[in-house]
């Protein structure tokens, strides 16, 4: 059986229902409210909302096939964080905030492609490092992130619930 063909593109506001449905169908997804996704989609890639000081985000989606209305197989969320007092003066920190791939589409390179797209989005906005959190028992995800160049940076005991798990923090320095 051949791997499903997919294409990546920036998410559009019309993707909201599909993004939320995929996220809700994925056990370990963050389960943000639809309003959070709608806000990201409404201001995606901008410098942030001047009213709320929201940092810029992106959502990249993976679609199966090339036809309009193709099914959504995955998405990833990236965010550029504002400069923080505890960062080095020249550091611009970004985050790979969420990666979700439909169960039936896993192990076909979609997660890797989504992560790479978010990394490039962060790099294009001047990020010097990207951080992420992952469940300590998500061995496949940890291996993928390590292959992409992320290194362990810390552990947050009992961070996740249902089921309870530690969060591993990982970091990727961008040249």
What CATH number does residue 78 fall under?
A: 3.40.630.30
Q: Is 48 inside a domain boundary?
A: yes
Q: Is 75 inside a domain boundary?
A: yes
Q: Is 138 inside a domain boundary?
A: no
Residue with tokens 């320095």: 173
For 102-117, how does the pLDDT look when each residue is reduced to its tens digit (9 = 90+)?
988 888 899 999 999 9
Name the token pair of 98: 């969420």
How many angstroms separate the CA atoms of 61 and 12, rounded?
A: 9
Name the token pair of 136: 């300590």
Name the token pair of 89: 């003066």
Phi, psi for 2 (deg, rounded to 5): -85, 155
This prediction's pTM: 0.86
Rounded to a whole number of angstroms, the CA Rg of the chain reads: 16
Q: Is 142 inside a domain boundary?
A: no
Name the token pair of 97: 């905030």
For 115-149, how does the pLDDT look when each residue is reduced to its tens digit (9 = 90+)?
999 999 999 999 999 999 999 999 999 999 999 99
């Amino acid at each position: 059986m051949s791997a499903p063909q997919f294409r990546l593109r920036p998410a559009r506001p019309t993707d909201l229902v599909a993004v939320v449905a995929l996220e809700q169908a994925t056990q370990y997804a963050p389960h943000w409210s639809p309003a959070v996704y709608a806000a990201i989609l409404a201001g995606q890639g901008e410098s942030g909302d001047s009213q709320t000081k929201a940092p810029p985000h992106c959502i990249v989606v993976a679609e199966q096939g090339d036809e309009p209305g193709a099914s959504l197989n995955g998405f990833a969320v990236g965010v550029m964080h504002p400069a923080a007092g505890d960062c080095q003066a020249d550091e611009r920190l970004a985050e790979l905030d969420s990666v979700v791939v439909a169960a039936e589409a896993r192990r076909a390179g979609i997660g890797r492609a989504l992560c790479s797209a978010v990394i490039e989005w962060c790099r294009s906005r001047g990020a010097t490092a990207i951080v992420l959190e992952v469940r300590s028992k998500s061995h496949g995800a940890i291996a993928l992130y390590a292959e992409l160049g992320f290194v362990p940076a810390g552990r947050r005991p009992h961070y996740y619930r249902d089921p309870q798990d530690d969060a591993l923090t990982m970091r990727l320095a961008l040249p």
